[in-house]
Amino acid sequence: MSDEQVNLAAEWIAKCEKLVIFTGAGISTESGLPDYRGPDGVWTRREKGLPPPRSKVPWHLAKPNDAHLAIVGLQKIGKLDFLISQNVDGLHLKSGIKPEKLAELHGNSYLMRCVDCDRQMTHEEAGWDKTVWGNGYRTDPVLKGQPKCPHCGGRIISSVVNFGDPLPDKEISEAVRHSQNCDVFFVIGSSLVVTPAAYMPEYALKNGAKLILLNLGETPFDNKAHLRIWKKAGDFVPKVVDAVKKILK
């Protein structure tokens, strides 16, 4: 691994005023979960007529890996302004990221959302039993007697955003605002092809931010990135965070 890339990324992050990190499924592959557009990803296999890849661990048993924990390290030293994620695996919250610093644009498999008051809650808080009521997706039929929002009595649905569903207003607006106001935008493990999430680095670039892009596959932003890294997140991100801490000592 190039020490020059590690040191350059660390220098930019240490000196920046507002760092935004953007993560895709590629950050969670080292936790045993499949990605989508990698060589053996969900959509890659589907396009080849193959069944989806098997997760190496059950989703509910997946644990945050070194890359997730390194991002928490940036939060602890006050260098993380905001984290935007396309992932629904819940690993960022499990790792210790503060909810107010996180926008999960595609939802969270472990959270429900009220369509009326927009509050999020765990399945337990909602009284939602999947074995009885199913996933509770927006497009699922409303079943007689299913739990309602404990806060306002409105309909609760899975927070997961499926194809055709609207993105959550609060999360998308927060993601846009932070992207437009950052000076370093660090992409980790995303192919940057799913919109509107993929518009975020463009907002950052228009603001003059430096774009650091780490992904094992090609992306539409490869030629726009100020620093392009072809490494695994768990190998690169912890080294960068360690270097940031040394600079700030």
Do 243 and 213 lie in a common domain?
Answer: yes
Do 31 and 144 lie in a common domain?
Answer: no
Give the tens place of pLDDT for each residue, 208-229. Answer: 999 999 999 999 999 999 999 9
| Banded model confidence at residue 39, pLDDT cuts 50, 70, 90 | low
Give the tens place of pLDDT for each residue, 13-34. Answer: 999 999 999 999 999 999 998 7
Do 239 and 145 lie in a common domain?
Answer: no
Do 154 and 50 lie in a common domain?
Answer: no
For residue 199, the enclosing domain spans 3-109+169-248
Do 18 and 93 lie in a common domain?
Answer: yes
- Is residue 33 a part of any domain in this protein? yes
Which of 159, 179, 195 finishes a domain? 159
Say how many Å lie between the first and final Cα of the chain, rounded. 24
Which of 95, 129, 159 finishes a domain? 159
Instruction: Please count the structural domains in the chain.
Output: 2
- Is residue 119 a part of any domain in this protein? yes
Say which amino acid occupies 70.
Answer: A
Do 35 and 103 lie in a common domain?
Answer: yes
Residue 6, pLDDT above cutoff 60: yes
In this prediction, residues 192-199 reach a mean pLDDT of 90
Which of 126, 159, 192 finishes a domain? 159
Do 94 and 212 lie in a common domain?
Answer: yes
In degrees, to the nearest 5, what angle opens at C-alpha 159 toward C-alphas 158 and 160? 90
Do 148 and 101 lie in a common domain?
Answer: no
CA 162 vs CA 72, 200, 220: distances in Å: 28, 20, 23
- Is residue 82 a part of any domain in this protein? yes
Give the tens place of pLDDT for each residue, 59-115. Answer: 678 999 999 999 999 999 999 999 999 999 999 999 999 999 999 999 999 999 999
Do 93 and 25 lie in a common domain?
Answer: yes
Q: Identify the active-site residue in 68, 106, 123, 178.
A: 106
Do 142 and 174 lie in a common domain?
Answer: no
Please report the pLDDT score of residue 121 as a whole number. 95
Please report the pLDDT score of residue 50 as a whole number. 58
- 151 in active site: no
Residue 45, pLDDT above cutoff 50: no
- Is residue 164 a part of any domain in this protein? no
Please report the pLDDT score of residue 26 as a whole number. 93
- Is residue 130 a part of any domain in this protein? yes
Residue 20 in contact with residue 184, Cβ under 8 Å?
Answer: yes
Give the tens place of pLDDT for each residue, 127-153. Answer: 999 999 999 999 999 999 999 999 999
Please report the pLDDT score of residue 35 as a whole number. 64
Please report the pLDDT score of residue 38 as a whole number. 56
Do 83 and 152 lie in a common domain?
Answer: no
Secondary structure in 3-state letters for the chain: CCHHHHHHHHHHHHHCCCEEEEECHHHCHHHCCCCCCCCCCHHHHHHCCCCCCCCCCCHHHCCCCHHHHHHHHHHHCCCCCEEEECCCCCHHHHHCCCHHHEEECCCCCCEEEECCCCCEEEHHHHCCCHHHHCCCCCCCCCCCCCCECCCCCCEEEECCCCCCCCCCHHHHHHHHHHHHCCCEEEEECCCCCCCCHHHHHHHHHHCCCEEEEECCCCCCCCCCCCEEECCCHHHHHHHHHHHHHHHHC
In this prediction, residues 187-192 reach a mean pLDDT of 96
- What is the CATH classification number for the domain harbouring 68? 3.40.50.1220
Do 104 and 204 lie in a common domain?
Answer: yes
